[in-house]
A and B are shown apart, each in its own frame.
Chain A
Amino acid sequence: MIFINNLSKKIDNNIVLNNLNLRVKPGETKVIIGRSGVGKSVLLKHIVGIIKPDAGTIEINGENITLMTEKEINKVRMQIGLVFQGGALFDSMSVEENVAFVLNEFMSLDRKVVRQKVADSLAMVGLKDIEKMMPSQLSGGMKKRVSLARVLCMEPQIILYDEPTTGVDPITADAINNLIVELHDKLKVTSIVVTHDMSSAYKVADSIAMLYHGRVIAEGTPSEIKMTNHPVVKQFITGDAHGPITENENLVFGHVR
């Protein structure tokens, strides 16, 4: 269970998170939608303890991580896998070393066992025979999948996905969506997926929460979100350039002056 209470964060005088409340049940896939720069990635980094909040609490399996020391939080981090937007693969290491990173750092396993685990993790994300390649030789989609394989190798209870389908072709995006659903069904992991890709959100979500002005303004199942009458959510999910979001931000799209 992930329980976020009144979370607030200011970065460079901008209020990014403003008394945000969110609850993610065990085994649930929660999709967080919202415009770019609204604080979705910042929220994920709070959950993994990379960023400390100005106020509020985050409870993971009953433990308040905001009060923990770095040493204590490291134990919690071993249960959480964060798939970064750009992959964040270590570019001085091969794919094999990247995927085996946690195994090599924290477990003294036999090399054969490590190799097998790496191959299994890569197979789960639909990749094979790329162990010796370097991150610079991979496409954007492959980087994302290797990043997911790296997370799977540590067998986490919670997986956080930061825009997993952004910047990849539609076929790869669908493959990644299928993978998220499969991991949810097979491994029963709790997942939080941050995205602004609505087709991805509808496909993978058990529930969807919309982040706007630093807080959750609407939450529900995919069908509830589709049917919503909330003007802000409606504008976002239909992708309309005109509406309350753009009016509030004094943005005028579609006019060439």
Chain B
Amino acid sequence: MFSSIKYASDLIYRGISYVGALAALLGETVCSLFVPPLNSNRILTQMLRVGPGSFFIASIVAFFIGMIMALQMAYQMVELSAEIYIPNVVSVSLTRELAPVLTSLIVAGRVGAGITAELGSMVVTEQVEALRAFAVNPVRYLVVPRFLALVIMLPILTIFADLIGIMGGFVICVYKLFINPSLYFTMVSKAVDLSDITTGLIKTICFGAIIALVGCHQGLNVKAGAEGVGKATTMSVVISFILIIIADCLFTTLFYFVLRV
């Protein structure tokens, strides 16, 4: 009993310390943003890695999620003769929840892990120490471009995921449930408010920051060799997933109960 309480308290303490370390890294990153000059080439390189690099996999997942949503809804709605409302459910759930969260999880697995592995290898081979020895701040040089790239590109990827997911629903609704194509788009446009899209996109800015900060923090704190890089990369994905889901829950509560949007 005592040991399980100790274990739980240790876990809570470590969790709070970790979030504190991320907050410190966020503070340093944001402060660095306001110190010119920012190297646009480095930011652009990272944006290309995040955006076009993740577009294909994010699109495929969004398309199939749109199809799956439509099929699952059809299972119940056809019973009620309410299949006409399937476009509403698909489009709103995609824009508010599924596209932002799933795209972020894909990017966390693909880009966040890559960031940790890259920075971890740089730590192990003393490249990060070399940066400091050459009077270059590693946060400014390594974290800021990755942070900006994720915060900018994740909402853009999510917009594409929204559209492609709605097209996935279109395929099922039109070719399986025989809903008129123009009626599908009319229902979607009636159902989706601007607030549905913006709340989804606001979330992805936060998720992008989480992926960048966790990826960079894990990478810059790698302790021991190749094994350490491997462990840090795994932890980076696990922690990003957990924090994204927790942040999503907080945002949904905020938007639904407090801001009423």
Interface presence of B133 (CB below 8 A): yes
Chain A residues near B127: list those with CB within 8 A: 88-91
**Contact across chains for B129 and A84 when beta carbons are under 8 A apart:** yes
C-alpha spacing A209/B230, complex, angstroms: 39
Chain A residues near B122: list those with CB within 8 A: 90-91
**Contact across chains for A70 and B137 when beta carbons are under 8 A apart:** yes
Contact partner of B135 among A74, A85, A86, A90, CB < 8 A? Answer: A74
Contact partner of B130 among A49, A84, A105, CB < 8 A? Answer: A84
Residue total for B at the interface (Cβ-Cβ under 8 A) = 13
Interface presence of A201 (CB below 8 A): no
C-alpha spacing A45/B134, complex, angstroms: 12
B109-127 interface (Cβ within 8 A of A): 121-122, 125-127
**Contact across chains for A91 and B134 when beta carbons are under 8 A apart:** no
- CB within 8 Å: A-B pair count: 44
B69 nearest CB across to chain A (Å):
40
Interface presence of A193 (CB below 8 A): no
B161-186 interface (Cβ within 8 A of A): none
Chain B residues near A78: list those with CB within 8 A: 135
**Contact across chains for B126 and A86 when beta carbons are under 8 A apart:** yes
Interface centre among A50, A70, A101 (most CB of B within 10 A): A50
C-alpha spacing A90/B136, complex, angstroms: 13
Interface centre among B125, B130, B136, B137 (most CB of A within 10 A): B130
Interface presence of B132 (CB below 8 A): yes
Minimum CB distance partner of A101 in chain B: B134
Chain B residues near A89: list those with CB within 8 A: 127
A73 nearest CB across to chain B (Å):
8
Which are the 10 A-B pairs with shortest beta-carbon distances? A74-B135, A88-B130, A88-B126, A77-B135, A82-B133, A48-B133, A84-B126, A50-B132, A88-B127, A50-B129
Using a CB–CB cutoff of 8 Å, the interface residues on chain A facing chain B are 45, 48-50, 70, 74-75, 77-78, 80, 82, 84-86, 88-91, 101-102, 105-106, 154
Contacts beyond the supplied A88-B127, A101-B134: 20 A-B pairs with Cβ under 8 Å: A48-B132, A50-B129, A50-B133, A74-B135, A75-B135, A77-B132, A77-B133, A77-B134, A78-B135, A84-B126, A86-B126, A88-B125, A88-B126, A88-B129, A89-B127, A90-B127, A91-B121, A105-B134, A105-B136, A154-B134
A–B pairs, 12, beta carbons within 8 Å: A48-B132, A50-B132, A77-B132, A84-B126, A88-B125, A88-B126, A90-B122, A90-B127, A91-B121, A101-B134, A105-B136, A154-B134
